[in-house]
Structure 1
Amino acid sequence: MVFVLGLCVMLLKASADVGSIITSSVFENMLKHRNDAACEGKGFYTYDAFITAAKAFPAFGTTGDATTQKRELAAFFGQTSHETTGGWSSAPDGPYAWGYCSVREGSNTASTGYYGRGPIQLTHDYNYRDAGSAIGADLINQPDLVATDAVISFKTAIWFWMTAQGNKPSSHDVITNRWTPSAADTSAGRVAGYGVITNIINGGLECGKGQNDQVADRIGFYKRYCDLFGVAYGDNLDCYNQQPFA
């Protein structure tokens, strides 16, 4: 009995390890063009930085069964790859092999200001303040740490992913089946699935507007990563008919 219990604990620990799903070679295959010469962020996003950041959030990529864990990681990288994409329709290996190409939003190079930086393209002073408070970094006075320290950069993205804000659930709770839509959500067409994560991240600009390229791009990245992990996509991938969160 002791042996069986010990084996179960070992198996549980083995499955609850982001690095056992996204190994270094898997990371390179997922983001195979991130260090291309044409990418503004070449050399910035490293595997070790990702793993170090992930360990600061024990529930990230380790919640639920193996399928749920893989689907969460596919969703996280699907969304963040869209935010940092350098791909185009005829790009080598396809447009969805070009995630994590950029670090800074557009042509911004300033070390000050709260423009988009990092995998989630963290924006707004309140997000820099709250993310910094959560991870122990002074991002109000040093916002450019999100673009110069890869561990901090990944941590801000995972923090955003794991954190509910206002009437928005966390992306983590959505993808791990821990969110139940309220009556208001249901009335607004916001149903559980990858699509509502897009709504959480950028619903005001992308959701409730019918089919559009931005949402389709997020779905394309997500599907590629699900395919690499060998998991089904789940239902409700888009937010074309969802009203944005108020």
Structure 2
Amino acid sequence: MNDIVGSGPCTGTGGGGSSGGDSVGVITSSIFDCIFNTIDATLRANRFNGLKATGWTPANKDEAAVFLAHVFHETDGLKTMREYCAPGCGPQYSGSWCSISAAPGKLYYGRGWFQLSWPCNYYNAGQSLGIDLLANPDIVENDPKTAVNTALWFYNANGMAAPAQRGDFAATTRIINGALECNNGPGYNNQLTRVATYKRARQCLGIGEPSINPVC
């Protein structure tokens, strides 16, 4: 399996505060605060600054809602940049489906905004970003900009932008974790939590209910 592993969202109405000035395209600081409402203002500002540092902007509000909903779900509302089970996550995702093997002593459990996992993904993301993430996987967890950029790498490398821009959340979930969550798979209830987060993100962005069925 070459997807990402998420920790699932929390629900709640966290404290106020602002992520700071400016915006990331249609994502204003107040919208970011609304979506990531279960972390404190200081952490939220740090996460928002990481997003701004990448230079990425969503094409429209549909794309913003899709991307940020998946981020919320995979990171427990941006509370964590590493899987909660780490470092003892099974085999630490040391297996490989490509020609790249794990570096000695390094672990490839989920890190960053999309919980990047497995040696092949760390290597390919690092090649794209110009960083040796195979040898230094902890960068994904510890550098706010890289934490976002690895998610954007997966997002773009796997063709998520096009369905996101048309508001097809189900198609993007299928890309991320389809084998587990789609078609009444074992993670179906997990998908429903993901969808609820997506609907809430749309409300924060002021675009109402999805026009395309968000369940895959």
Name the larger-Rg structure.
Answer: 1
Q: Is the 8 A contact 1:112 1:144 kept in 2?
A: no
Where in structure 2 are the equivalents of 1:131-210 lying within 5 Å? 131-164=125-158, 170-177=159-166, 193-209=168-184
Return the letter of the residue paired with 2:161.
Answer: H
CA RMSD across the alignment? 2.6
Q: Which residue does the alignment assign to 2:10?
A: none
Mapped to 2, the partners of 1:45 and 1:154 lie a distance apart of: 12
SS of 1:209 mapped into structure 2: coil
Relative contact order, higher structure (CA 8 A, sep 6+) = 2
Q: Which residue does the alignment assign to 1:100?
A: 78
Return the letter of the residue paired with 1:126.
Answer: C
Match status 1:72 vs 2:49: no
Post-superposition shift, 1:20?
A: 4.1
Post-superposition shift, 1:234?
A: 2.3
Structure 2 unpaired stretches of 5+: 1-21, 89-104
Q: Is the 8 A contact 2:110 2:117 kept in 1?
A: yes
Q: Identify which range, 230-239 or 203-212, moves more after superposition.
A: 203-212
- Structure 1 residues 235 and 43: alpha-carbon distance in aligned structure 2, compared to 1, 3 A threshold: closer
Post-superposition shift, 1:19?
A: 2.1
Post-superposition shift, 1:109?
A: 4.4
Q: Which residue does the alignment assign to 2:35?
A: 30
Mapped to 2, the partners of 1:148 and 1:218 lie a distance apart of: 25
Match status 1:83 vs 2:74: yes
Mapped to 2, the partners of 1:46 and 1:193 lie a distance apart of: 25
Return the letter of the residue paired with 2:63.
Answer: E
- Structure 1 residues 45 and 123: alpha-carbon distance in aligned structure 2, compared to 1, 3 A threshold: farther
Match status 1:222 vs 2:181: no
1:56-100 Cα distance to aligned partner (Å, 9 max, x none): x4xx402xxxxxx11101100111111112xxxxxxxxxxxxx11
Q: Is the 8 A contact 1:80 1:120 kept in 2?
A: yes
Post-superposition shift, 1:25?
A: 2.7
- Structure 1 residues 214 and 155: alpha-carbon distance in aligned structure 2, compared to 1, 3 A threshold: same
SS of 1:102 mapped into structure 2: coil
- Structure 1 residues 76 and 147: alpha-carbon distance in aligned structure 2, compared to 1, 3 A threshold: same
Mapped to 2, the partners of 1:44 and 1:128 lie a distance apart of: 26
Match status 1:61 vs 2:58: yes
Runs of 4+ in 1 over 3 A off after TM superposition: 42-45
Mapped to 2, the partners of 1:219 and 1:121 lie a distance apart of: 18
Mapped to 1, the partners of 2:52 and 2:177 lie a distance apart of: 26
Mapped to 2, the partners of 1:120 and 1:108 lie a distance apart of: 15
Mapped to 2, the partners of 1:220 and 1:45 lie a distance apart of: 25
Q: Which residue does the alignment assign to 1:234?
A: 211
Number of matched pairs: 177
Q: Which residue does the alignment assign to 1:51?
A: 52
Mapped to 2, the partners of 1:131 and 1:50 lie a distance apart of: 17
Return the letter of the residue paired with 2:165.
Answer: T
Mapped to 1, the partners of 2:207 and 2:33 lie a distance apart of: 19
